[in-house]
């Protein structure tokens, strides 16, 4: 699989990603990608017929707290570190241009 990976293919992918790579970088990336593809090819040879699909190799439990109704911040607490405020609101720079023209 990796033997078919060429420097031209790596250049093409780099061009699609808008990366300017030198010839030395292309050669390095080609050999690195070939090594990765060789390893993936080895993994594809494994018999995983009796292996259960899993998301994690360790038992992972939900670490989120239970939803509880609690008192929230007051406006003054929420806006205490705001760089700018407009009354009870955060003041933010305008992001849209004037559309009245």
SS3 89: strand
Among 58, 24, 41, 84, smallest CA distance to 10 is for 24
pTM summary value:
0.49
> What average pLDDT does this structure show over 57-71?
85
Question: What CATH number matches the domain at 1-62, 1.10.20.60, 1.10.3720.10, 3.40.1550.10, 1.10.260.40?
Answer: 1.10.20.60
Tens of pLDDT, residue by residue over 4-37, are 899 999 999 999 999 999 999 999 999 999 999 9
Tens of pLDDT, residue by residue over 79-100, are 999 999 999 999 998 888 766 6
pLDDT value at position 17? 96
Q: How confident is the model at residue 64 (pLDDT cuts 50, 70, 90)?
A: confident
In whole angstroms, give the CA distance from residue 36 to residue 11.
Answer: 17
In whole angstroms, give the CA distance from residue 94 to residue 2.
Answer: 51
Over 60: is that where the pLDDT of 2 sits? no
């Amino acid at each position: 699989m990796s033997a078919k990976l060429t420097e031209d293919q790596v250049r093409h992918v780099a061009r699609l990603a808008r990366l300017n790579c030198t010839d030395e970088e292309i050669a390095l990336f080609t050999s690195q990608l070939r090594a990765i593809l060789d390893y993936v090819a080895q993994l594809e040879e494994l018999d995983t017929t009796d292996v259960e699909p899993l998301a994690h190799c360790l038992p992972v439990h939900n670490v989120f707290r239970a939803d509880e109704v609690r008192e929230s911040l007051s406006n003054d607490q929420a806006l205490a570190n705001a760089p700018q405020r407009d009354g009870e609101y955060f003041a933010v720079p305008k992001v849209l241009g004037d559309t009245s023209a």
